[in-house]
Structures are given as C-alpha cells and as structure tokens.
Structure 1
Amino acid sequence: MPDALAPLLSRAATWFDRAAAAGWIDAANRARLDAVEHATPADLFHEPGSRPLVVAFFGGTGVGKSSLLNRVAGQALARTGVERPTSREVTVYLHEAVRLAELPTHLPVERTQVVRHSAARWRDVAWLDAPDVDSVEQDNRALALAWLAHVDLVCYVVSPERYRDDAGWRVLRRRQHRHGWLFVMNRSDEGDPTQADDFARILREAGFERPALVSTCCVEPAPDSARDEFNRLVETVDALRSARGVEALERVGLRARLADLHAALRAAMLPLGGDADWQRLDIAAARAAGQAVETILAGTEYALRGVAARFATGDSGPLARLSKTIGGLRTAAPADAPTGHPAVVDAALVGELWDDWSQAKVAACADAIEIETRKLGLAAAPVRRAIEQHAGRVGDEVRSAVHDGLRAALARPGTALTRGLRRVTGFLMAFLPALALLWVAYAAVRGFYAAAHGGAAFLGGAFAVHSVLLVVIAWAVPWLTDRLLRPSLEAAALRGLRGGLRVGLDGARDALLAGVAGARAEAAELRRECERLAADVSAAREAPPALDVAPFVAPASTAAAH
C-alpha cells in the first residue's frame, strides 16, 4: 500500500469506528470505506520500494493474450488456444532476481504460475497473462478482476471481430481511471486497417483523449509490416519501467483510491448535517417542545384544581368568611390547618399531576423531533438517544418542581400587599385593645378620685358595660379585618401548583433542547474531524506525478460517468 494511503485509511477507520459507535453512520457508510481498494502492485513484492513495473495482458477469450506474452519472452511460456491452462490461472513472467512476497489471500497460489527469466531487459518489469475477463466461469473472471488491483499498466487486448461489443471491456471500463492503459488490437492482420481507427474513436468516447493504441499480429513468425506494432508495445513498456514511470503509474492507482476514500468521507458527513440543517432542527424542536408544554399545562389544569381543593376550608371568599365568622365562627382558622405538612403535600401530589398521559405527550414530542431529524437527512439515533436521556426524568423533575412551588406558595400565601396589611391588623389586634384598656383604667381612676372627694357619684354599671364594649370593639375591628384579609389556601395552593408545573415543564423543555444541542455539538466535532481528513485526502490527490502518463490514463470524472 502506498505510503500516502495507509495513514489516511487508518485515520478514516478510526473516525468511522467512532462515528458508528455513536450512531451517526450506518453499515452502508462503513461499507463505502471497506470498499476502498487496499490492494496495490507493491503488495506482490518483498521490497516494494524497488519493485518492478507490473504489466498485465487482459482481454476476452481468444484475442491472443498468451501469444503476446510468448512474443515478449521470445519463447512459448503459455499454450495458446481456446482451452488452455492460462484460461484458469495467472502466468507471471518475472526476473529471477525479484523476490515475490507472500501472495494475498485473494490471489490463490494454486492458480498462479510463476515463470522466471534472466533477461536483463525485463529486469524491472513483471509481465502477467490473466484469465479471460469475459469467461462464462465466474471463478475465472473473479480471478482476473482480483489481480487487476495489483497491476500498474493494463495491456487490454482485443481482436478485430470483438472490439465493438466486448463484455470484458464493459467490466474493465469501471476501472479505467485506476491504471495506466495500453490498448492492443491483436490479430490486426485478420481485419481491416480502419477497425483500429474505429476502436480509437470508441476509446475517445469512453474518456481516453489520446488513447495509446498499437496493432499487432498473432502469426508466428510475425510479418514485417506496418500493421504489426509489437515493437511499439515493448518500447512503450520500456519507457515506463523506470522508477519514475513506476511511481507515476502507482500514483494513478493511488489517486483513484484516494478519490474513493474522499467520496466515502463525504457520504459519511451527510448524516452529520450542516449548520443550516441543525438550525432548522433547533426551530422544529423548540416548536414541538413548546407545544408539548402548553398541551400538558392545559391538560393538567383539572388535576391541579382537584389537588388545590384539598386545601380548602369550606369558605369560598371574604364575604362568605365574614358571614360565617359573624354567624358563629363555625370553621377553624385556615392558618391553623396543618396543610403544609410534607406528608399532606406528598399525598396530594403522588400520581395525580404526572400520569401516563403526560409522559405520552413527552414521548410524542420526542417522536416529532426524531421525524424532523429524519426529514432533514440527519442521523436520528444519536438525537433520539440524547432526548431520551432527559425524557425519562421529566416526571420526577416536574414533581420536584411542583413540590417546591406548592411549599413556597403555602409558606407565603396571598400577595405582598395582603401580607403587609395583615401585619398591621395583627399589631392593631393587640394595640387597640390595650389602648382601650388604658383609657378605661384612666377613666375609672379619675371617676373614683372625683367621687372620693365628693365631687361626683361613683362609676356605675353603665360605665362597666361601655368599657367592655369599647375593648371588644377595639379588638374585634382589626380581628375581623384580618379575617377578611386572610388568603385562601386553596387559591395559594393552586397558584403554587401552576407555577411549579410551569417551572418544571420549562426546565424539562430546556433539558430536551439541551439534548438536541449536545447532539449538534457532537455532530459538529465529528464533521470538523472528517473535513480535516477529507482535506488531507484532497491534498494527497493533488500531488503531481513524477512522469507524464496522461496518454495512458482516463480522467477520473469521465470514468465515473461510465
């Protein structure tokens, strides 16, 4: 594997593992990464840094691939014909000084024939004769395609009668930007010279702007004519077998692999979304959560009133309380009722203010957010997981807030004005009777003094009655006023329940939205990492080749179109 590819693939695998573990990408995204081709020509050799150029004859049945390899070797390496061993195996023609590495598992040793030679000319070239790529036997075609990943230069061989509709060409065309290509019209002596021109036109339409095309003959000995360009074939390979040529063609394959990796990264970023997608989701989530809060508030109003009614003392208002007070003070003072005791409060709230209906509304809110997430093309699983972390605690949080609100309301019922006035009436209930008693005492002493000196009669029963009435009135007026000002515990409880429920639901709403925000932050971090990795992949793709091999390569964009 080229040095530039291995670390990028490793980083990508680590990122994909993280994103998959968090639920942001699915198996299809991971499959795109796994589909990036790891195999390279360097995998075949013990010393990849000084490896030979790998040239392979590929083509359909009976086009003369083995005959061409025999001409390269100057001897019969492979038998020719329709049924021959090389239709089912790969022949590798290799210099004796080149050490092969252990073949990858997808290249079976039992179907590989290695032929050694000592020709100095081909010291830096490894020639391959592959099975027929249009073979009806799936194993043969699979073997040919498996070797393609380890080839620098594909010598694609056709014949005059099969070049226009070649099933093998349709298979190999999907790989046209992954290798260097040298096209061979073999058996040209059996066809018309214009067929080579027609084949060149087809290649240009397929994306090869200047296809490297040679015509050769298959008869032995080869005729000495302009229609046999076998020497051009070997000279072309000669020109590419240098270290710069190997590096340039290796870079062709590397660019294709990097393009696949870049496409896999870009596809994996789609479920992460962009800022605009998350802004729309934030708006939709806030709307769904707000609707859920208002629905629950409206739906629990009846339950709130029922709980608050437990704190009622039977008097419905100031006039009624005045009437009942004057009529006999038949009811106990509300302030003396032990309604603020924790046991009473807990008993009033358990299971009544937050039931299955309320929890179902929270679940419906989570469903609405998840549906909107899917509509926007974002990964729904992490968002749903972040929401459910808070949704399960909504009931407890709301109950706690309602408890707090109720206790606070019962501890300080009424308004600030009424509480202030009641402080005044409380003071007057003690002050006015005391003042009246002082006045009565003063009047009694003064009358007794006057009577003792013979100036007047002693105080009588009328004075006593009037004194009692004065003291009673001095106490009764502020006491009745205090009774009128005393707030209803039912109203205070209802206000506390409503406020606590609102606080609890608002807190739950904020927690749900915080869950969405947390998912957004996680997605943004993963996206930034992926974008940095994709930028590094793009930079690696842009490195120029060591040698101009444009005539042997189809542009990647054109290849992708096919």
Structure 2
Amino acid sequence: MVYDYSDILAQAQNWAETALSEGRLSAERARELLAMDLRSPAQLFGGAGHEGVRPLIVAFMGGTGVGKSSLLNRLAGQAIARVGVERPTSREVTLYHYRALSPQQLPAGLPLDSIKINQHDDAGNSNIVWIDMPDFDSVELANKRLVLEWLPHIDVLLYVVSPERYRDNKAWQLLLAEGVKHAWLFVMNQWDRGQSVQFDDFRRQLHKAGFTDPLIFRTSCAEPDGDEFAELLHQLQELSGRHNMAELVLRGGQLRKQQLMQVLGQLLNDFPDQAHAQCQQDLETLWRQAESQLFEGLSWPLQQLSQAWADNLGQKTEIQLWDDWAQNRLNDLLDQLILQAAQSGLPSKPLKTALHGVREHAGENLTARVELAGRQALVKPGNAMQRFLIRFTAVCETLLPLVAMGVVGYQVFNGYYHSAADETAPAYLGANFAIHSVLLIGLSWLIPYFLHQKIQPSLRKAAYKGARKGFRQGLATVLAQIQQALDTERKRNDVLRRQLLAIIEHCSTETPATIDKHGVLGRALLGV
C-alpha cells in the first residue's frame, strides 16, 4: 500500500509530539522532524493546469546582474519583471502564468505582498508557471529569506549565470544544498560577451557538482539572434508534458519520504530495544549492594525497636527506623540507576518520574510493613513446637498435681480400709509415706511449671525476628516497585518504537521511480 507523504508526516509529527510531551524525546532531537512541512509545488496550483494536470513551476535563480528578469521579459514579450537600473537587483517575486490558472490557490503562508502577478494567453505555455526570484546573493537578507521560502514550491530551477559571474559562491552553495530536490536547467546569459573557455569551465563545474550531462543554454537578450533561447523553451515544454510531470511528481514524493525516513531512522536510535535488559541487570547489581548496606545500617534501630515493643507490648514508640541515612542510600540507588539507564540510551525524565513514587513512599511503606510483622510476631511468639509445648505444660501444671493427689488419696484410703478390717495392720502409714506424698504432689506441679517457664519465647527475640522478616518483605516490595516501573517504561518505549518502525515502513513501501538518465528529465535531475 502506498501512503501519501502528508499523511505519513502528520503521523510522524504526532508521534514526535507525544514522545516529546512524555519526555522520551528531547526538543533538540525532535526539532528537525517537527520543522518539516508539507510545502510542495502542488500547493501552488494543484491540478489547475491543462486537463487537470498541475503546471510545471519554473523559477529563474541566479546572482545579481546576470539578467534573470530580462529573460522573463523576453519570454513574455513585454516588461513584466523589474530590471535593476540604479542597482541591478530584484527585490520581489514575479509570477507569470496562463490566465486560466487561479492565483487564489497560492498558500496563505507565502509573503504575498512581495509577489507581482502577470498573466498571459499563450496556450502553448499553459502548463508552465514562470517565477522570477530575488537575487540570492544580495546583501539584503530579506531577499534570501524570500528565495528560501519559495524553494519548496519549485519544480525546475533555471540557474542563470553570466560569463563574468558563473562562479558565484552563494548561489553555488544553494545548488549543492538543494541539488536533488529540483530539476535544473542552466543558462549562461549575456552570451554575446562570453567565450567558449568560460562555457567549458562552467560545464566542468557542473560535472564536479554531480551533473553527468547538464542542460546548458547560451542566451543573449541584447543580441538574441542565433542563441539557444528557443531550445530552452522547447525543453521546458517537454518537461511540462504529462509523462515527465508524473515522473517528476513521483520522484519528488519519494525524495521527501526518503528524507523523512532518514530523520526517523536517526530518532530510532533514541529507543534501543536491548537497553531495558541491561537496565534490569544494573538494578540487580545495585540492589545487592544497597540491600546489604541497609541491613547492616538498620540492624541497631531494628533491635531497639524490637526491645521497645517487647517492653510495651507492641505499643507505638518514638524510635525512627527509616532515617535520613536510609533514605539517602535509596536515593543514591535510584539516581545511579537513572544515570546508567541514560548511558544505555533510555530517556531519563520519564524513568525519573516513574520512580518518584518509590522514592517518596519507600520509607513509609517499609516502616508499616515492619510494624505489622512485629505485631504479628508478638501475637504468636516462638515457633509451632514451642507453642504446643507451652500449652501442653500449662495443662500438665494442673493435671499432674491432681493425678498425684488422687494417687496419694487412694493410698491413704486403702491403708485405713485395711487397718479397719485387720486389727493387726498398722493404722499409721508412716513419715516416709507423708514425705513421699508431698514430694510427689510438689514435683508433679513444679516440673511442668519449670518447663513452662523455660520454653516461653523471648518477646524481644520474637519482635526482632518479626521486624527483620517485615524489613526483608518491605525491601522486596520496594524492589518489586522499581522493577514494575522499569517494566512499565519498557512497554511504553516498545510501543513508541513499534509505532516509529511502522511509520518508517510506510515511507519505504513505494516502488522507486525509474527515470531515463539520457532523457531531458534525467539530464535535469541530480543523482539519477
């Protein structure tokens, strides 16, 4: 599918504005793309030419005093372009077109107050619009700005020189800069004062610029007999034909797409596809160091906090766990991560924004996690075996003495029962029985009581264990939040990268134009 340049550019600029607003693209990097516009020769008259084919836009360009305006006056057969007298320099744009064309179709962005419009009724030149440009080498900067403003709307540039001024550096630099964007015809005007050596030297200069077989015409407005003005008109009329116009329009669109594709390709480097994997590896290295430092540095506050909880049964204390030192360690980690991400080619601004919440709330969330784990540890101190033994010994403290007293009571009852039945049996059980009975009852209570006290877990140790567990969970939560921020950034960057690749692909779907380099259009174009 072939996409229109205007649609691709609008899509690319919308993409750039989105990336710029999110901080994923710098203003400097986006400037060239956002500065690209839709100006083209088609905007001047569109399809207003013969049979709906837009006219060929031809502009006279050259240095001061080479006779550009005189050439246009000769073409028109009347004085329609101002010729310099006091100082031979053009200060306005003269537009000369077929009367049926409507000048109201000129884009509003052009400086219309600097345009002089003339019309003709020559049907043979109905598909050509002639423009006389201001002198590019003028000391007046407004002239140069006016020329640059009109250049995007030009199909063919008639580069006019004179035998004395064919090595004009300013106009030559413009030729080198704008070479591939336009078709070029070259006119050595005032040839009545020229020599063949000058013509040959000019041709060599064009060869150096990249023109293999340039179209050069020798004209003389003072002595027109025998010059090549008629051949110049013939070549321009051939260029304005339907076939050449179609090829010229196709090539112009492809060049604009290629330029856009180059700009987008450079922006693609700002969205590397492997940088996030490296960023995750950097996070793992930095986190191991920071985690070790935090555990060592906050070990004493954890112990103090655990002791306060044990003494006050978990009530709130004034001891601060996450202090400025801990916050600085976290800030150092995040700043180093952002720096390394930027070095890997990732935009730092959105990543910094994504990590702002982690930076601001890490201490608060981690402290709350430690307090919760500490309180839970105080509710159920010790391990499962300890809690079972505590309950078991508590039962034994009551049950064993009762069993011992039952055994002693049974022995006493049994002894008196037998003494009553047998008068020869002693009625008194003896001191040893009394001592053993007391010892049995006492030990049946004392042993479970002693074990119950011994296996009671330390509240301080339980609180410290719970606090360390909560601290470890809190750090894991902080790490997960950082990883989530990185993953969110990765997904967003991947979306923008895929969008950019799709736009680049739209620029390269068109079949390249094939232009005969030996034809008039091929000879007029640079790089064919």
**Do they superpose with TM above 0.5?**
yes
- The reply on whether 1:471 has 2:441 as its aligned counterpart is yes
Query: Could you say what secondary structure the match of 1:87 adopts?
Result: coil
- The reply on whether 1:339 has 2:313 as its aligned counterpart is yes
Report the aligned-residue RMSD: 2.4
- Which residue number in structure 2 is paired with residue 391 of structure 1? 359
- The reply on whether 1:145 has 2:148 as its aligned counterpart is yes
Q: Following superposition of structure 1 onto structure 2, how do residues 33-72 of structure 1 map, counting pairs within 5 Å?
A: 33-45=33-45, 47=47, 50-72=53-75
Shift in Å at residue 85 of structure 1? 8.5
- Which residue number in structure 1 is paired with residue 224 of structure 2? 222
Shift in Å at residue 487 of structure 1? 1.3
Deviations 1:480-504 (A, max 9, x none): 1221111111111111111100110
Shift in Å at residue 546 of structure 1? 7.9
- Which residue number in structure 1 is paired with residue 331 of structure 2? 363
Partners of 1:127 and 1:311 in 2: how far apart? 93
Partners of 2:15 and 2:104 in 1: how far apart? 31
Please list every run of 5 or more consecutive structure 1 residues that lacks an aligned counterpart in the other structure.
314-337, 557-562
Shift in Å at residue 284 of structure 1? 1.3
Shift in Å at residue 460 of structure 1? 4.9
Matched-pair contact (CA < 8 Å) for 1:67–1:80: yes
Deviations 1:82-125 (A, max 9, x none): 54797001111111111123433443222211111111110100
- Which residue number in structure 2 is paired with residue 191 of structure 1? 194
Shift in Å at residue 127 of structure 1? 0.8
1:374 counterpart (314, 324, 342): 342
Shift in Å at residue 65 of structure 1? 1.2
Please tell me the residue identity of whatever aligns with 1:488: S
Partners of 2:3 and 2:495 in 1: how far apart? 27
In structure 2, the CA distance between the partners of 1:529 and 1:79, relative to structure 1 (3 Å rule), is closer
Partners of 1:37 and 1:551 in 2: how far apart? 28
Q: Following superposition of structure 1 onto structure 2, how do residues 160-559 of structure 1 map, counting pairs within 5 Å?
A: 160-208=163-211, 210-224=212-226, 228-274=227-273, 276-311=274-309, 339-340=313-314, 344=315, 347-348=316-317, 352-453=320-421, 454=423, 455-460=425-430, 462-540=432-510, 542-544=511-513, 549-555=521-527
1:130 counterpart (124, 129, 133): 133
Partners of 1:101 and 1:145 in 2: how far apart? 21
Shift in Å at residue 46 of structure 1? 6.3
Deviations 1:407-463 (A, max 9, x none): 232222223343343344334323322221221111111111122222112335553
Query: Could you say what secondary structure the match of 2:119 adopts?
Result: strand
Query: Could you say what secondary structure the match of 1:182 adopts?
Result: strand
Please tell me the residue identity of whatever aligns with 1:553: L
The alignment's TM-score, normalised by the length of structure 2, stands at: 0.91
In structure 2, the CA distance between the partners of 1:417 and 1:473, relative to structure 1 (3 Å rule), is same
Shift in Å at residue 219 of structure 1? 3.9
Matched-pair contact (CA < 8 Å) for 2:56–2:245: yes
Please list every run of 5 or more consecutive structure 2 residues that lacks an aligned counterpart in the other structure.
none
Shift in Å at residue 47 of structure 1? 4.2
Partners of 1:79 and 1:385 in 2: how far apart? 61
Partners of 2:165 and 2:152 in 1: how far apart? 25
Number of equivalent positions:
519
Partners of 1:285 and 1:100 in 2: how far apart? 63
Partners of 1:312 and 1:116 in 2: how far apart? 101
- Which residue number in structure 2 is paired with residue 319 of structure 1? none
Shift in Å at residue 15 of structure 1? 1.4
Please tell me the residue identity of whatever aligns with 2:286: A
Partners of 2:299 and 2:7 in 1: how far apart? 62
Shift in Å at residue 529 of structure 1? 0.6
- The reply on whether 1:98 has 2:101 as its aligned counterpart is yes
- Which residue number in structure 2 is paired with residue 88 of structure 1? 91
Shift in Å at residue 13 of structure 1? 2.4
In structure 2, the CA distance between the partners of 1:204 and 1:426, relative to structure 1 (3 Å rule), is farther
- Which residue number in structure 1 is paired with residue 25 of structure 2? 25
In structure 2, the CA distance between the partners of 1:95 and 1:522, relative to structure 1 (3 Å rule), is same
Identity level (%): 34
